[in-house]
């Protein structure tokens, strides 16, 4: 699992959401939100996914934006936060 940058292929992030239920995106606010909206649009063809955009503070990067499947996680869910923080700690910057 990786934390995506705003220059990564959106299809890789689509696969992450389908596989893991979320994709984390690091970058400045404007580009990161734009990437997340592109990801949500790309997920439209996957009817089983109900995508939402979120934001999480993490130790290494400071913050990441998330696109997560609301069928698998709820907003502010502790399990999702733990997964994102663990991913941040395990991923080199």
5-26 tens-digit pLDDT? 999 999 999 999 999 999 999 9
Is 29 exposed, middle or buried (CB count within 10 Å of its CB: 0-12, 13-18, 19+)? Answer: exposed
**Which DSSP letter does residue 44 get?**
T
pLDDT-derived band at 93, boundaries 50, 70, 90 = low
Quickly tell me which residue has 């949500």 as its tokens.
Answer: 40
Provide mean pLDDT across the span 57-85: 94
pTM tops 0.85, yes or no: yes
Mean pLDDT of the chain: 94
Provide mean pLDDT across the span 69-82: 93
Quickly tell me which residue has 């130790």 as its tokens.
Answer: 59
In angstroms, the CA 32 to CA 25 distance is 6
The vertex-85 CA angle with 84 and 86, nearest 5°, equals 90
Does residue 2 carry a pLDDT above 70? yes
């Amino acid at each position: 699992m990786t934390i995506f940058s705003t220059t990564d292929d959106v299809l890789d992030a689509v696969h992450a959401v389908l596989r893991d239920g979320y994709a984390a995106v690091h970058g400045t606010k404007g580009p990161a939100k734009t990437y997340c909206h592109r990801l949500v649009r790309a997920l439209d063809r996957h009817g089983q996914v109900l995508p939402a955009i979120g934001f999480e503070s993490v130790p290494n990067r400071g913050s990441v934006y998330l696109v997560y499947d609301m069928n698998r996680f709820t907003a502010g869910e502790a399990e999702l936060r733990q997964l994102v923080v663990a991913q941040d700690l395990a991923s080199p910057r």
